[in-house]
Amino acid sequence: MSTRLSPAQIEEQFRRSPFIHWLQLNVESVDYDQQILTVTVPMRPEFERGAGSGQWHGGPLAAIIDTVGDFALAMIVGAGLPTVNFRVDYLRPAVNTSLRVVARTRRLGRNIGVADVDVFNQDNILLAIGRASYATGVAPSGVSS
């Protein structure tokens, strides 16, 4: 469990999943020493809470948080991992903005890994926070989230 994924390999894994590919996640940076993955996500009409509102729906936000948290671990272990538990706190609405999502590995154990995720708007205002645990004890096989 120690095959690091390069930014290009992470983006390739994003493309392998039709759902994750649809989210249009873009790797901004990978910091292996700090175990931090930063991803950007453009706003699209499909993500709107109400047509024409420009406000992000919580569902895509949750999916993005879970996926980026997963890949904060995956970048270290070499593949996406199944989610065991997940929570998100929405702090303020995301309106007419792309997102910058920063995931930090908090624990990478033999059976469970934990990631914390912060979601920021274009003005670097914190919009949501999430924490998820992932099953690291399973043999990685492609993208899971």
Which domain CATH number covers 126? 3.10.129.10
What is the total count of domains within the chain? 1
Range of the domain at 66: 7-135
Over residues 2-6, mean pLDDT = 83
Tally the residues of the chain.
Answer: 145
pLDDT for 22 = 97
Q: How far apart are CA 48 and CA 95, in angstroms?
A: 9
Residue 1 scores a pLDDT above 70: no
Does some domain include residue 2? no
The pLDDT tens digits of the residues spanning 82-138 come to 999 999 999 999 999 999 999 999 999 999 999 999 999 999 999 999 999 999 987
Residues 11-34: b if buried by 16+ CB within 10 A, e if exposed: bebbeebeebeebbbebeebeeee
Element (H, E) at 69: helix 58-77
The average confidence (pLDDT) of the chain is 93
Residue 143 scores a pLDDT above 50: no
Q: Considering only CA atoms, which of 1, 77, 4, 64 is closest in space to residue 38?
A: 64
